[in-house]
């Protein structure tokens, strides 16, 4: 119980620190929105010209995007400090974390919260609204209940991957470029329905690097699409299970990393 | 600026990059990931129709465009926060008292950076793509020479854009949102992902008023043979005009910025 209180204090302090510069924060949110608007804009140009992408209409593509925005928004909120984790190791700041009587992972995660999540949530809700309208989603009670479950599963997948690639820094020290590729660039894959890729890549994105579960598979369920184009129809409900598997593996690799850790001495 | 000195700065900046070999390997993977995603996307879009030519591009032409525009873009990789960091740590003061032009020193640093990315990333990515995808490049000597000239002009424009964005740190403490804006505009309007030919009519006049299409789109169209040799010459003239316009902006901002510069104690 006591440690939860400490975590809460860390949480509120980090939010307060970020909100110190309100104008800068708002401008930052606006810049992120413009970045995604550009990405959306290119998608609309293509859809305007070609009408659909492998059987996915504009509305369905927008819904696909909303699932992704929610998952990455919450992942950014919780796991943001992991992006710069190699710096904590190189600067020797991680030593400080180890001598405190709290879980190292908990401390690293709670040391910083990225408020840019606000931008992702704005995008997520906007995309959800327009996606629902244009794709005529029938929101049954079952779907409404499962939506947060699927988003949580997506956060576990994205967060787990982030944690795993972060843990690499325990062995290699500097791993910025790897973190950047695995966390940010790979996201591009699921901006589009995964069935545009060849079979090998679909297999990879399902079983090896399972980000297809963040939006592609569960979207079939919400949009009442038949599972015909999928590797297997039952995969569409796989997100929570895959999420738990990924986060479990990643916590083990993090722990292995902490055990392997030797201070850089700086 | 003395050409010998310029080359010296280029080589120092190049050697700095060579230090991170692992980063270089990850960089190839990262670049190829984008090539793979966009070629898959175009193939999927084209497979939906019986017509084989869309907006003047056959499938081979659009795949070639997607690969080469990414190749040019990766070769144009530069560190856009150099000036920001120099202002933050106060080393900008040293630059001000040096007898060499700050703009050209900055350009030299960028050139070294980019030459490295060109050799270590662009070349392998293009070789892999030529083996994997159906690509057609008309091999005419004059065309390739014109492409090189246009590429250098495009490179100078990108470098000036980054210089202008970097100079904003003379006025603002935080410039990351500006860099995000710049990135969004550059990605959208340069034709870096979708060639301008696919843009809807109402956007084309806006694109024509901006310098971005001269950075990636036009040089690439020269190489893939979409622009005739006569067109290529007028493209290069237009690029030179933009270099003059942006050069004046750089000069004026640098003059005003020097007076305005606030250094945070270093």
Q: Which residues of B touch A42 (CB under 8 A)?
A: 187-188, 193-194
pLDDT at B78: 86
Q: Is residue B28 pLDDT above 70, yes or no?
A: yes
CA-CA distance, A130 to A60, in Å (whole number)?
Answer: 10
Question: Considering chain B, what percentage of its residues have pLDDT values greater than 70?
Answer: 97
pLDDT at A184: 82
Residue scoring higher pLDDT (A83 or A124): A124
Q: What global pTM score does this model have?
A: 0.89
Q: Is residue B25 pLDDT above 70, yes or no?
A: yes
Q: Is residue B41 pLDDT above 50, yes or no?
A: yes
Q: Mean pLDDT: which of A179-193, B95-109, B147-161 is highest?
A: B147-161
Measured between CA atoms, how close is A27 to chain B, in angstroms? 7
As a whole number, mean pLDDT of residues A163-173 equals: 83
Question: Considering chain A, what percentage of its residues have pLDDT values greater than 70?
Answer: 95
pLDDT at A177: 79
Structural contact between residues A237 and A218, judged by C-beta atoms closer than 8 angstroms: yes
CA-CA distance, A5 to B249, in Å (whole number)?
Answer: 54
Question: Considering chain B, what percentage of its residues have pLDDT values greater than 90?
Answer: 56
Could you say which DSSP state residue A184 is in?
A: T
CA-CA distance, A165 to B251, in Å (whole number)?
Answer: 43
As a whole number, mean pLDDT of residues A65-94 equals: 84
CA-CA distance, A166 to B254, in Å (whole number)?
Answer: 40
As a whole number, mean pLDDT of residues B94-104 equals: 81
Q: What part of A 51-70 touches B (C-beta under 8 Å)?
A: 51-54
Q: Which stretch of A14-23, A26-35, A135-144, A230-239 has the lowest confidence by average pLDDT? A: A14-23
As a whole number, mean pLDDT of residues A82-94 equals: 79
Q: How far is CA A26 from CA A20, A35, B178, B185, in A?
A: 11, 14, 13, 19
Q: Which stretch of A188-192, A248-252, A260-264, B244-248 has the lowest confidence by average pLDDT? A: A260-264
Structural contact between residues A90 and A174, judged by C-beta atoms closer than 8 angstroms: yes
Number of neighbouring beta carbons within 10 Å of residue B147 = 24
Does A234 contact B at CB distance below 8 Å?
no
Question: Mind listing the pLDDT tens digit for each residue in B201-235?
Answer: 999 999 999 999 999 999 999 999 999 999 999 99
Yes or no, beta carbons of B33 and A185 under 8 Å apart: yes
Residue of A81, A183, A56 whose CA lies nearest to A131: A56
Measured between CA atoms, how close is A258 to chain B, in angstroms? 22
CA-CA distance, A212 to A195, in Å (whole number)?
Answer: 10
Yes or no, beta carbons of B184 and A37 under 8 Å apart: yes
pLDDT at A265: 61
Residue scoring higher pLDDT (A47 or A23): A47
- Residues ≥6 apart with Cβ < 8 Å to B210: B185, B189
Q: Is residue B261 pLDDT above 60, yes or no?
A: yes
* Chain A, chain B: beta-carbon pairs less than 8 Å apart: 98
Question: Mind listing the pLDDT tens digit for each residue in B61-75?
Answer: 999 999 999 999 999
Q: Is residue A227 pLDDT above 70, yes or no?
A: no
CA-CA distance, B157 to B149, in Å (whole number)?
Answer: 13
As a whole number, mean pLDDT of residues B131-151 equals: 92
Q: Which stretch of A41-55, A91-105, B33-47, B139-153 has the lowest confidence by average pLDDT? A: A91-105
Q: In angstroms, how far apart are the furthest CA atoms of chain A?
A: 59
Task: State the average pLDDT for chain A.
Answer: 86
The first and second tokens of residue B145, run together, are 């020479």
Q: Is residue A215 pLDDT above 80, yes or no?
A: yes
The first and second tokens of residue B251, run together, are 């000069």
Q: Is residue B258 pLDDT above 90, yes or no?
A: no
CA-CA distance, B104 to B2, in Å (whole number)?
Answer: 10
Q: Which residues of A touch B23 (CB under 8 A)?
A: 176-177
Q: Which residue has the tokens 């926060």?
A: B81
Structural contact between residues A169 and A258, judged by C-beta atoms closer than 8 angstroms: no
Task: State the average pLDDT for chain B.
Answer: 89
Structural contact between residues B223 and B147, judged by C-beta atoms closer than 8 angstroms: yes
Measured between CA atoms, how close is B41 to chain A, in angstroms? 6
pLDDT at A45: 93
Residue scoring higher pLDDT (A18 or A208): A208
As a whole number, mean pLDDT of residues A213-233 equals: 83
As a whole number, mean pLDDT of residues A171-193 equals: 84
As a whole number, mean pLDDT of residues B9-27 equals: 79
Question: Mind listing the pLDDT tens digit for each residue in B77-88?
Answer: 888 888 888 888
Q: Is residue A261 pLDDT above 90, yes or no?
A: no
Residue of B17, B21, B25, B26 to mutate for A, most A C-beta atoms under 10 A: B26
A53 forms bridges with which residues in the sheet? A56
The rounded Cα B110 to chain-centroid distance in angstroms is: 11
Q: Where are the domains of chain B?
A: 3-260
Collapsing DSSP to helix, strand or coil, B57 comes out as: strand
Q: Which residue has the tokens 């990351």?
A: B176
Residue scoring higher pLDDT (B22 or B256): B256
Measured between CA atoms, how close is B2 to chain A, in angstroms? 35
The first and second tokens of residue A111, run together, are 């040391």
Q: Is residue A1 pLDDT above 70, yes or no?
A: no
pLDDT at B266: 43
pLDDT at B151: 95
Q: In angstroms, how far apart are the furthest CA atoms of chain B?
A: 65
Q: Is residue B105 pLDDT above 90, yes or no?
A: no
B interface with A, Cβ–Cβ < 8 A, is 20, 22-23, 26-27, 29-30, 33-34, 36-37, 40-41, 43-45, 47-49, 54-55, 173-174, 176-178, 180-181, 183-185, 187-188, 193-194, 198-200, 203
Name the residue facing A188 among B23, B34, B178 (closest C-beta).
Answer: B34
CA-CA distance, A252 to B1, in Å (whole number)?
Answer: 56
Structural contact between residues B217 and B190, judged by C-beta atoms closer than 8 angstroms: yes
Yes or no, beta carbons of A185 and B48 under 8 Å apart: no
pLDDT at A111: 72
Provide the H-helix boundaries in chain A.
Answer: 2-19, 22-50, 58-79, 85-90, 93-98, 104-110, 117-134, 141-167, 169-172, 176-183, 199-203, 216-222, 239-260
CA-CA distance, B214 to B193, in Å (whole number)?
Answer: 14
Phi-psi region of A142 (alpha: psi -120 to 50; beta: other; left: phi over 0): alpha
Phi-psi region of A197 (alpha: psi -120 to 50; beta: other; left: phi over 0): beta
Q: Which residue has the tokens 């990393």?
A: A257
Q: Is residue B247 pLDDT above 90, yes or no?
A: yes
Does A28 contact B at CB distance below 8 Å?
yes
Does A185 contact B at CB distance below 8 Å?
yes
Q: How far is CA B176 from CA B84, B107, B179, B180, in A?
A: 9, 21, 5, 6
pLDDT at A228: 62
């Amino acid at each position: 119980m006591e440690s939860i209180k400490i975590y809460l204090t860390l949480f509120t302090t980090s939010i307060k620190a970020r909100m110190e510069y309100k104008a800068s924060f708002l401008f930052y949110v606006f810049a992120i929105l413009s970045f995604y608007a550009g990405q959306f804009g290119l998608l609309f140009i293509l859809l305007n010209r070609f009408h659909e992408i492998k059987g996915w209409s504009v509305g369905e593509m927008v819904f696909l995007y909303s699932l992704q925005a929610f998952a990455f928004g919450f992942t950014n909120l919780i796991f943001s400090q992991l992006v710069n984790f190699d710096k904590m190791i190189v600067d020797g700041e991680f030593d400080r974390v180890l001598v405190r009587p709290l879980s190292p992972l908990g401390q690293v995660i709670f040391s910083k919260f990225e408020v840019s999540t606000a931008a992702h949530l704005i995008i997520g809700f906007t995309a959800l609204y327009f996606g629902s309208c244009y794709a005529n989603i029938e929101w049954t009670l079952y779907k409404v209940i499962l939506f947060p479950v699927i988003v949580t599963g997506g956060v576990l997948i994205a967060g787990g991957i982030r944690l795993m690639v972060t843990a690499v820094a325990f062995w290699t020290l500097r791993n910025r470029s790897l973190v950047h590729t695995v966390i940010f660039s790979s996201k591009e894959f699921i901006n589009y329905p995964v069935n545009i890729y060849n079979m090998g890549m679909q297999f990879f994105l399902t079983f090896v690097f399972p980000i297809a579960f963040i939006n592609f598979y569960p979207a079939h369920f919400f949009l009442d699409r038949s599972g015909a184009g999928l590797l297997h129809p039952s995969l569409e409900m796989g997100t929570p299970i895959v999420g738990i598997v990924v986060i479990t593996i990643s916590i083990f690799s993090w722990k292995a990393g902490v055990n392997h850790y030797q201070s850089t001495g700086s | 600026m003395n050409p010998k000195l310029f080359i010296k700065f280029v080589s120092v900046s190049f050697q700095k990059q060579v230090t991170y070999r692992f980063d270089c390997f990850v960089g190839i993977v990262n670049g190829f990931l984008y090539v793979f995603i966009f070629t898959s996307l175009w193939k999927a879009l084209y497979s939906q129709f019986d017509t084989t030519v869309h907006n003047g591009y056959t499938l081979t032409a659009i795949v070639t465009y997607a690969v080469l525009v990414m190749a040019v873009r990766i070769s144009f990789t530069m560190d856009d926060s150099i000036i920001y960091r120099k202002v933050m740590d106060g080393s900008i003061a040293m630059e001000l008292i040096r007898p060499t032009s700050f703009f050209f020193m900055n350009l030299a640093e960028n050139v070294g950076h980019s030459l490295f990315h060109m050799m270590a990333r662009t070349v392998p990515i293009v070789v892999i793509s030529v083996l994997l995808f159906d690509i057609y490049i008309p091999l005419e000597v004059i065309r390739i020479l014109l492409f090189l000239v246009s590429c250098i002009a495009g490179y100078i424009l990108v470098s000036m854009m980054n210089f202008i964005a970097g100079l904003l740190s003379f006025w603002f403490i935080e410039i990351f949102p500006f860099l995000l804006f710049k990135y969004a505009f550059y990605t959208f309007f340069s034709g870096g992902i979708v060639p301008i030919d696919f843009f809807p009519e109402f956007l084309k006049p806006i694109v024509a008023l901006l310098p971005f299409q001269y950075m990636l789109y036009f040089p690439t169209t020269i190489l893939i043979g979409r622009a005739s040799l006569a067109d290529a010459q007028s493209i290069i003239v237009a690029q030179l005009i933009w270099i003059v316009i942006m050069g004046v902006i750089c000069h004026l901002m640098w003059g005003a910025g020097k007076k305005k510069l606030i250094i945070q104690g270093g």
